[in-house]
Amino acid sequence: MLFSLQNKTAIITGGASGIGLAISKLFASQGSNVHILELNYEEAKNEAVNINTKKARAFAYEVNIADQQKVKEVINSIAEENSIDILVNNAGIAHVGTVETTLEEDLDRIYSVNVKGSYNCIHACIPFMKEQNKGVILNISSIASTIGLPDRFAYSMSKGAVVGMTLSVAKDYVKQGIRCNCISPARVHTPFVDGFLEKNYPGSEKEMFEKLAATQPVGRMATPEEIAYLALYLCSDEASFITGCDYPIDGGFIKLNN
Protein backbone atom coordinates (compact mmCIF):
# COMPACT_ATOMS: atom_id res chain seq x y z
CA MET A 1 0.00 0.00 0.00
CA LEU A 2 1.33 3.41 -0.94
CA PHE A 3 1.91 5.85 1.93
CA SER A 4 1.57 3.11 4.52
CA LEU A 5 2.25 4.03 8.14
CA GLN A 6 1.79 0.47 9.32
CA ASN A 7 3.20 -0.17 12.80
CA LYS A 8 4.43 3.40 13.14
CA THR A 9 3.75 5.65 16.10
CA ALA A 10 2.66 9.21 15.42
CA ILE A 11 2.37 11.99 17.98
CA ILE A 12 0.01 14.74 16.82
CA THR A 13 -0.48 17.94 18.81
CA GLY A 14 -3.90 19.50 18.53
CA GLY A 15 -4.95 16.22 16.95
CA ALA A 16 -8.60 16.28 18.01
CA SER A 17 -9.91 19.17 15.92
CA GLY A 18 -9.55 20.81 12.52
CA ILE A 19 -6.43 19.98 10.56
CA GLY A 20 -5.05 17.92 13.43
CA LEU A 21 -8.12 15.71 13.56
CA ALA A 22 -8.00 15.14 9.81
CA ILE A 23 -4.34 14.11 10.16
CA SER A 24 -5.12 11.82 13.10
CA LYS A 25 -7.89 10.05 11.16
CA LEU A 26 -5.88 9.68 7.98
CA PHE A 27 -2.74 8.44 9.72
CA ALA A 28 -4.77 5.85 11.64
CA SER A 29 -6.42 4.70 8.40
CA GLN A 30 -2.92 4.09 7.03
CA GLY A 31 -1.99 1.89 9.98
CA SER A 32 -0.34 4.30 12.39
CA ASN A 33 -0.97 4.25 16.12
CA VAL A 34 -1.91 7.85 16.86
CA HIS A 35 -1.16 9.68 20.11
CA ILE A 36 -3.18 12.88 20.40
CA LEU A 37 -1.86 15.67 22.62
CA GLU A 38 -4.62 18.14 23.40
CA LEU A 39 -5.46 20.86 25.89
CA ASN A 40 -9.07 19.62 25.91
CA TYR A 41 -8.80 16.05 27.18
CA GLU A 42 -12.48 15.16 26.84
CA GLU A 43 -12.49 16.17 23.19
CA ALA A 44 -9.30 14.23 22.57
CA LYS A 45 -10.63 11.14 24.37
CA ASN A 46 -13.88 11.18 22.37
CA GLU A 47 -12.06 11.52 19.07
CA ALA A 48 -9.59 8.79 20.00
CA VAL A 49 -12.50 6.41 20.60
CA ASN A 50 -13.94 7.33 17.20
CA ILE A 51 -10.60 6.85 15.45
CA ASN A 52 -9.79 3.41 16.87
CA THR A 53 -9.84 0.77 14.15
CA LYS A 54 -8.78 -2.83 13.68
CA LYS A 55 -5.63 -1.57 11.94
CA ALA A 56 -4.57 1.09 14.41
CA ARG A 57 -5.31 2.64 17.76
CA ALA A 58 -5.58 6.21 19.01
CA PHE A 59 -4.71 7.49 22.47
CA ALA A 60 -5.52 10.79 24.16
CA TYR A 61 -3.42 12.91 26.52
CA GLU A 62 -4.19 16.17 28.27
CA VAL A 63 -1.19 18.37 27.53
CA ASN A 64 -0.48 22.08 27.44
CA ILE A 65 2.38 22.05 24.96
CA ALA A 66 3.72 25.29 26.46
CA ASP A 67 4.56 23.25 29.60
CA GLN A 68 7.88 21.56 28.84
CA GLN A 69 7.82 19.28 31.87
CA LYS A 70 4.37 17.92 31.00
CA VAL A 71 5.35 17.44 27.36
CA LYS A 72 8.43 15.46 28.39
CA GLU A 73 6.46 13.31 30.82
CA VAL A 74 3.89 12.35 28.19
CA ILE A 75 6.36 11.74 25.36
CA ASN A 76 8.64 9.73 27.66
CA SER A 77 5.67 7.58 28.66
CA ILE A 78 4.83 6.96 25.00
CA ALA A 79 8.46 6.09 24.24
CA GLU A 80 8.53 3.47 26.99
CA GLU A 81 6.35 1.20 24.87
CA ASN A 82 6.74 2.55 21.32
CA SER A 83 9.26 3.92 18.92
CA ILE A 84 8.70 7.62 18.20
CA ASP A 85 8.41 7.54 14.43
CA ILE A 86 6.47 10.71 13.61
CA LEU A 87 5.84 14.02 15.33
CA VAL A 88 3.32 16.44 13.86
CA ASN A 89 3.44 19.88 15.47
CA ASN A 90 -0.03 21.05 14.55
CA ALA A 91 -1.35 22.83 17.67
CA GLY A 92 -1.43 26.59 17.36
CA ILE A 93 -3.35 29.73 18.22
CA ALA A 94 -4.04 32.95 16.33
CA HIS A 95 -4.18 36.65 17.12
CA VAL A 96 -5.55 39.70 15.33
CA GLY A 97 -3.55 42.90 15.60
CA THR A 98 -0.77 45.13 14.31
CA VAL A 99 2.48 45.77 16.19
CA GLU A 100 0.75 48.75 17.83
CA THR A 101 -2.33 46.90 19.01
CA THR A 102 -0.55 43.71 20.05
CA LEU A 103 -0.02 43.72 23.80
CA GLU A 104 2.98 42.14 25.50
CA GLU A 105 0.77 39.43 26.97
CA ASP A 106 -0.63 38.71 23.49
CA LEU A 107 2.87 38.21 22.13
CA ASP A 108 3.86 36.00 25.05
CA ARG A 109 0.74 33.85 24.63
CA ILE A 110 1.32 33.34 20.89
CA TYR A 111 5.00 32.58 21.44
CA SER A 112 4.35 30.11 24.25
CA VAL A 113 2.14 27.90 22.07
CA ASN A 114 3.20 28.38 18.44
CA VAL A 115 6.94 28.62 18.99
CA LYS A 116 7.83 27.26 22.42
CA GLY A 117 5.19 24.52 22.17
CA SER A 118 6.68 23.22 18.92
CA TYR A 119 10.17 23.44 20.39
CA ASN A 120 9.07 21.56 23.51
CA CYS A 121 7.74 18.65 21.47
CA ILE A 122 10.76 18.46 19.17
CA HIS A 123 13.10 18.76 22.17
CA ALA A 124 11.37 15.80 23.83
CA CYS A 125 11.21 13.59 20.72
CA ILE A 126 14.64 14.13 19.18
CA PRO A 127 16.61 11.97 21.69
CA PHE A 128 14.43 8.95 20.91
CA MET A 129 14.64 9.53 17.15
CA LYS A 130 18.43 9.83 17.40
CA GLU A 131 18.64 6.58 19.33
CA GLN A 132 16.71 4.70 16.63
CA ASN A 133 18.48 6.64 13.84
CA LYS A 134 15.23 7.60 12.13
CA GLY A 135 12.19 9.77 12.53
CA VAL A 136 10.01 12.36 10.85
CA ILE A 137 9.03 15.76 12.18
CA LEU A 138 6.36 17.79 10.42
CA ASN A 139 5.57 21.33 11.51
CA ILE A 140 2.41 23.17 10.52
CA SER A 141 3.20 26.77 9.71
CA SER A 142 1.21 29.19 7.53
CA ILE A 143 1.56 31.31 4.42
CA ALA A 144 1.65 34.17 6.95
CA SER A 145 5.27 33.12 7.54
CA THR A 146 6.38 34.31 4.11
CA ILE A 147 3.93 37.03 3.03
CA GLY A 148 2.36 39.99 4.76
CA LEU A 149 -1.16 39.53 6.05
CA PRO A 150 -2.95 42.55 7.53
CA ASP A 151 -3.50 42.55 11.32
CA ARG A 152 -1.54 39.36 11.90
CA PHE A 153 1.71 40.69 13.39
CA ALA A 154 2.20 38.22 16.26
CA TYR A 155 0.78 35.25 14.38
CA SER A 156 2.98 35.87 11.32
CA MET A 157 6.04 36.26 13.55
CA SER A 158 5.38 32.95 15.26
CA LYS A 159 4.82 31.05 12.04
CA GLY A 160 8.00 32.51 10.55
CA ALA A 161 9.80 31.11 13.57
CA VAL A 162 8.30 27.69 12.87
CA VAL A 163 9.74 27.71 9.34
CA GLY A 164 13.15 28.73 10.68
CA MET A 165 12.92 25.99 13.31
CA THR A 166 12.14 23.46 10.58
CA LEU A 167 15.22 24.33 8.54
CA SER A 168 17.49 24.30 11.60
CA VAL A 169 16.30 20.90 12.83
CA ALA A 170 16.55 19.42 9.33
CA LYS A 171 20.14 20.63 9.02
CA ASP A 172 21.23 19.53 12.49
CA TYR A 173 19.85 15.99 12.33
CA VAL A 174 20.01 14.92 8.69
CA LYS A 175 22.96 12.62 9.46
CA GLN A 176 20.92 10.92 12.19
CA GLY A 177 18.26 9.86 9.71
CA ILE A 178 15.74 12.43 10.97
CA ARG A 179 13.72 14.37 8.42
CA CYS A 180 12.00 17.68 9.24
CA ASN A 181 9.60 19.48 6.92
CA CYS A 182 6.91 22.09 7.12
CA ILE A 183 3.46 22.72 5.61
CA SER A 184 2.21 26.29 5.19
CA PRO A 185 -1.52 26.33 4.46
CA ALA A 186 -3.53 29.31 3.36
CA ARG A 187 -7.02 29.55 4.81
CA VAL A 188 -8.56 26.23 5.81
CA HIS A 189 -12.21 25.86 6.80
CA THR A 190 -12.12 24.45 10.31
CA PRO A 191 -14.19 24.99 13.47
CA PHE A 192 -11.35 27.30 14.51
CA VAL A 193 -12.14 29.59 11.59
CA ASP A 194 -15.84 29.64 12.46
CA GLY A 195 -15.02 30.49 16.07
CA PHE A 196 -12.52 33.12 14.97
CA LEU A 197 -15.09 34.85 12.78
CA GLU A 198 -17.73 34.69 15.49
CA LYS A 199 -15.37 36.28 18.01
CA ASN A 200 -13.83 38.97 15.82
CA TYR A 201 -16.60 39.76 13.33
CA PRO A 202 -19.90 39.27 15.19
CA GLY A 203 -22.86 39.76 12.91
CA SER A 204 -20.69 39.72 9.79
CA GLU A 205 -19.51 36.11 9.89
CA LYS A 206 -20.98 35.06 6.53
CA GLU A 207 -19.73 38.14 4.75
CA MET A 208 -16.23 37.79 6.18
CA PHE A 209 -16.12 34.05 5.45
CA GLU A 210 -16.92 34.70 1.78
CA LYS A 211 -14.37 37.49 1.64
CA LEU A 212 -11.62 35.33 3.13
CA ALA A 213 -12.49 32.37 0.91
CA ALA A 214 -12.34 34.55 -2.19
CA THR A 215 -8.73 35.57 -1.48
CA GLN A 216 -7.62 32.14 -2.70
CA PRO A 217 -7.49 32.20 -6.52
CA VAL A 218 -9.26 28.82 -6.60
CA GLY A 219 -12.20 30.60 -4.95
CA ARG A 220 -12.54 28.65 -1.72
CA MET A 221 -10.80 27.64 1.48
CA ALA A 222 -9.01 24.32 1.75
CA THR A 223 -10.53 21.41 3.62
CA PRO A 224 -8.62 19.91 6.56
CA GLU A 225 -8.44 16.64 4.63
CA GLU A 226 -6.51 18.30 1.80
CA ILE A 227 -3.84 19.40 4.27
CA ALA A 228 -3.81 15.92 5.82
CA TYR A 229 -3.07 14.27 2.45
CA LEU A 230 0.10 16.35 2.09
CA ALA A 231 1.03 15.58 5.70
CA LEU A 232 0.64 11.86 5.00
CA TYR A 233 2.96 12.01 2.02
CA LEU A 234 5.65 13.97 3.86
CA CYS A 235 5.55 11.57 6.82
CA SER A 236 5.58 8.43 4.69
CA ASP A 237 8.58 6.47 3.46
CA GLU A 238 7.73 7.59 -0.07
CA ALA A 239 9.02 11.05 0.94
CA SER A 240 12.31 9.71 2.32
CA PHE A 241 14.35 12.03 0.06
CA ILE A 242 12.62 15.18 1.33
CA THR A 243 13.87 17.23 4.26
CA GLY A 244 14.30 20.91 5.11
CA CYS A 245 11.40 22.03 2.93
CA ASP A 246 8.40 24.31 3.48
CA TYR A 247 5.38 23.42 1.36
CA PRO A 248 2.74 26.11 0.74
CA ILE A 249 -0.69 24.62 0.15
CA ASP A 250 -2.65 27.72 -0.66
CA GLY A 251 -4.97 27.48 -3.66
CA GLY A 252 -2.59 29.73 -5.60
CA PHE A 253 -2.57 32.48 -2.95
CA ILE A 254 1.15 33.27 -2.99
CA LYS A 255 2.00 33.01 -6.67
CA LEU A 256 -1.26 33.95 -8.38
CA ASN A 257 -2.20 36.96 -6.26
CA ASN A 258 0.98 38.86 -7.16
Which positions are catalytic?
155
Read off the amino acid at residue 79.
A
Kindly tell me the burial class for residue 211, based on how many C-beta atoms sit within 10 Å of its own C-beta (0-12, 13-18, 19 or more): exposed
Cβ within 8 Å of residue 42, ≥6 positions away: none
Contact 188, 224 (CB under 8 A): yes
Read off the amino acid at residue 217.
P
* 173 membership: H or E segment, kind and range: helix 153-173
Other Cβ atoms within 10 Å of 11 Cβ, number: 29
